[in-house]
Amino acid sequence: MSILEVKNLSKKFENTEVLNDINFTMEEGETVSIIGSSGSGKTTLLRCLNFLETPDTGIISVKGDVLLDSDDPSTLSENNIRHKRQHFGLVFQQFNLFPQYTALENIMLAPRLKGESSEAEIRERALKLLDLMGLSDRSENYPHQLSGGQQQRVAIARALALQPDILCFDEPTSALDPELTGEVLKVIKRLAMKKTTMIIVTHEMAFARDVSDQILFMDSGIILERGTPDKVFGNPENERTKQFVQAI
């Protein structure tokens, strides 16, 4: 069974069709990259998956559980949206760490609030995540003492701390100086090699080609082309895709 199924997802803002009949599936352990020009609907798609926006129509299922079905009002009720969000972790362009907390505390905060594990377990997991991010020596540093790349790696650890089924990234390196981009891409690649299920919106085409199992090319609110990196980058079917990948 696919870990994620998205069917007939559409979303309008006022009269603009921002997502138009989006359909795709992904398997557990896959990395899916979403590429496409600015304004094509990539962020809105991620926000719909994370219940930060409500789609107008469509079905979203995770591991066979229907999280949202626009024809079934019970799935649109507010009360279990918090619960549904927990299927997804989200890493934004802006890392938004809490400035008053150390790196370690930033990672421990959400699991503490969730209150399902002991303080010792939460701490141990947070330290492991910092290690995975190559930041073992930075646990007691505050965000202002860290570079942008280090802060973004803490933000990735923070998103992983709640053990989401699917980790989503929205242009995770776009706010970074070019020399800091590499260290963040490196840890995301490490996660891909550990078979973390991920959806990555990115403009880093060489990276997307290297780490992804599937590429979705979005254009004006539709998935214009979908396939392996070799197909989408090397042998695209659609003329628009060809133009996009040749321009970069």
Ligand X SMILES: Nc1ncnc2c1ncn2[C@@H]1O[C@H](COP(=O)(O)OP(=O)(O)O)[C@@H](O)[C@H]1O
Residues in contact with ligand X by CB under 6 A are 13, 18, 36, 38-44
Give φ, ψ of 169 to 5 degrees. -120, 130
Closer to ligand X at the Cβ: 36 or 172?
36
Q: Which residue is at the shortest CB distance from Mg ion?
A: 43
| Of residues 224, 226, 202, 222, the one with CA closest to residue 213 | 226
Which does residue 227 touch among Mg ion, ligand X, none (CB within 5 to 8 A, set by kind)?
A: none
Task: State which residue, 185 or 222, has the beta carbon closest to ligand X.
Answer: 222
CA-CA distance, 54 to 37, in Å (whole number)? Answer: 23
Closer residue to ligand X (CB): 16 or 136: 16
- Helix, strand, coil shares of the chain, percent, nearest 5, are 40, 25, 35
d(CA 172, CA 133): 14
Q: Which does 39 bind (CB under 5 to 8 A by kind): Mg ion, ligand X, none?
A: ligand X
The amino acid at 110:
A
Q: Which does 10 bind (CB under 5 to 8 A by kind): ligand X, Mg ion, none?
A: none
Q: Could you tell me if 208 and 215 are in contact, meaning their C-beta atoms sit under 8 angstroms apart?
A: yes
Stretch that binds Mg ion, among 15-23, 41-49, 181-189, 227-235 (CB under 5 A): 41-49
- CB-wise, 171 or 183, nearer to ligand X? 171
Q: How far is the CB of 211 from Mg ion (least distance, A)?
A: 19
Partner whose binding site includes residue 197, from Mg ion, ligand X, none (CB under 5 to 8 Å by kind): none
Q: Determine contact, residues 134/166, Cβ cutoff 8 Å.
A: no
Q: Which CB sits closer to Mg ion, 203 or 240?
A: 203
> Among Mg ion, ligand X, none, what binds residue 143 when CB lies within 5 to 8 Å by partner kind?
none
CB of 13 to ligand X, least distance (A): 3
The first and second tokens of residue 156, run together, are 């990735």
User: Encoding tokens for residue 198?
Assistant: 């991920």
Instruction: For residue 172, give the 3-state DSSP assignment.
Output: coil
C-alpha–C-alpha distance, residues 201 and 38, integer Å: 11
Please state the φ and ψ torsions of residue 53, each to the nearest 5 degrees. -130, 150
* Residue 43 is a binding residue for Mg ion (CB under 5 A): yes
Task: Name the binder of 164 from ligand X, Mg ion, none, CB < 5-8 A by kind.
Answer: none
Q: Which is nearer to ligand X, 17 or 28 (CB)?
A: 17
The site for Mg ion (CB under 5 A) is made up of 43
